[in-house]
């Protein structure tokens, strides 16, 4: 079995590769730049005691349909975990390129799933599909059945993900193919690179290095958090499970406010300096996700926020 991981050298993608190797599955990694971050991934492969030769690499521009098709023509692929996506400022500052990557590129992958009869496709959507305001849903955890229209959105990224999900359901219904997607909440861990939410690393990484963390929201702000390795494990288990009961899954994990976030970091780093911006009431995200569906589907419970923070801090200190 070989699993194709597009965007496999990215923040979540590299963790997906490691989770697959832990299960002794061969991986084909594609990325726009297969040099950047490759050494880091191979170092982490050695750390977990796995053979780096079980990973093959191929450059892929997800906007190039011919390059995508070559991947599928020339490799025997069992399933695909698609993480080739333009996030953060690219969606706002270069919407044409972002559309080619995020909309046309993802739909091209859907086409390959049908044409080459791939057993399963899993991709990461986003909690931003729910819009920017928890108030829209009331004081409760948001479920997979909830929806808000584009007038409630803040991120162009989220609307693009909404279209990806819509198209996925069309392909499932029309062709009977197996596609599943998760809606990750705030994915935290070490290794983010210039995203719109670098604060999801800085809140603990900077104190781990003796630096102050400045967070762009109030202490009263609430967010739902999941550690990056657990987010990756969810994607892997969805890709490998023989049959799925649903196509859409919240990642969930743990919701907490800024006060609890600060207390968690200071429990590990007592002298941590964390500052909040009380002029910003909240992040443009929902506060809470109901994750009962995915926990039951794949029989997996993510670690606690505190355990994830410990892992993040350890990674920071080992890397520095």
Identify the residue whose tokens are 């569906």: 293
Closest CA to 10 of 73, 52, 62: 62
Do β-strands 254-257 and 222-227 pair in parallel, antiparallel, or remain unpaired? antiparallel
What is d(CA 222, CA 224) in angstroms, rounded to the nearest whole number? 7
Radius of gyration for the alpha carbons in the chain, expressed in angstroms and rounded: 19
171: annotated active-site residue: no
Catalytic residue among 85, 155, 157, 181: 157
CB crowding 25-64: b at 16 or more within 10 Å, else e: bbbbbbbbeeeebbeebeebbeeeebeeeebebbebbbbe
Q: How many CA atoms lie within 13 A of 317 on its CB side?
A: 12
Active site residue ranges = 157
């Amino acid at each position: 079995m070989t699993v194709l991981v597009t965007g496999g050298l990215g923040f979540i993608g590299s963790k997906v590769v490691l989770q697959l190797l832990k299960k002794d599955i061969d991986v084909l990694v594609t990325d726009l730049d297969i040099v950047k971050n490759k050494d880091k991934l191979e170092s982490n492969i050695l750390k977990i005691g796995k053979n780096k030769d079980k990973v093959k690499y191929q450059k892929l521009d997800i906007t190039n349909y011919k390059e995508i098709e070559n991947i599928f023509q020339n490799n025997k692929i069992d399933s695909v975990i698609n993480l080739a996506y333009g996030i953060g400022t690219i969606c706002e500052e270069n919407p044409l390129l972002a559309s080619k990557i995020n909309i046309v590129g993802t739909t091209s992958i859907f086409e390959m799933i049908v044409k080459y009869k791939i057993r399963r496709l899993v991709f990461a959507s986003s909690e931003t599909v729910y819009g920017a305001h928890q108030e829209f849903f009331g004081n409760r955890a948001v479920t997979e059945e909830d929806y808000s229209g584009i007038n409630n959105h803040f991120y162009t990224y989220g609307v693009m993900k909404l279209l990806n999900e819509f198209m996925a359901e069309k392909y499932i219904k029309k062709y009977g193919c197996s596609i599943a997607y998760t809606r990750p909440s705030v994915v935290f861990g070490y290794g983010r690179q210039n995203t719109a939410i670098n604060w999801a690393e800085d809140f603990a990484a900077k104190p781990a290095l003796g630096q102050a963390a400045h967070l762009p929201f109030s202490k009263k702000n609430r967010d739902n958090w999941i550690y990056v390795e657990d987010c990756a494990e969810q994607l892997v288990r969805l890709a490998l499970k023989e049959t799925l009961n649903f196509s859409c899954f919240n990642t969930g994990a743990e919701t907490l406010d800024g006060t609890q976030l600060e207390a968690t970091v200071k429990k590990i780093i007592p002298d941590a300096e964390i500052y909040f911006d009380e002029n910003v009431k909240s992040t443009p995200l929902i506060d809470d996700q109901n994750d009962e569906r995915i926990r039951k589907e794949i029989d997996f419970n993510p670690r606690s926020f505190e355990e994830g923070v410990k892992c993040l801090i350890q990674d920071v200190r080992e890397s520095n």
